[in-house]
Amino acid sequence: MAKSIRIRANAKGSVVTVKALLTHPMETGRRKNKKTGKKIPAHFIQEVNCTHNGKTVMTAEWGGAVSKNPYLSFKFGGGKPGDTVGIAWSDNLGKKDSVETKVK
């Protein structure tokens, strides 16, 4: 899959703020196609993992109730400019994506 994650990480003191936009359809499986009347199959992100220098700092378990193209923001302590922050997701159809960036 093409890169579906846009990420920024900024440090203020030792606190790092991470902001990410994930591009994903996030279908619940309950919506119908207006033309055919058939249900659109479920397709949503199930797990999001965030790392700091390779160590997990946040894990989220999502479901179909999360909106299309979700925005994620969180903070963690102990970071500094130049550190590596990564985000990876996997969905209910087995698709995955990940990206890393340096803290500014």
Q: What is the CATH number of the domain that holds 66?
A: 2.60.40.10
**What pLDDT is recorded for position 30?**
93
Tokens linked to 13: 């003191």
3-state helix, strand, coil in the chain (%, to 5): 0, 55, 45
Tokens linked to 78: 């102990």
**What pLDDT is recorded for position 2?**
52
φ, ψ dihedrals at 13, nearest 5°:
70, -130
The domain in which residue 31 lies consists of 5-102
Low-confidence ranges of the chain (pLDDT < 50): 1
Q: How many domains are there within the chain?
A: 1
**What pLDDT is recorded for position 1?**
47
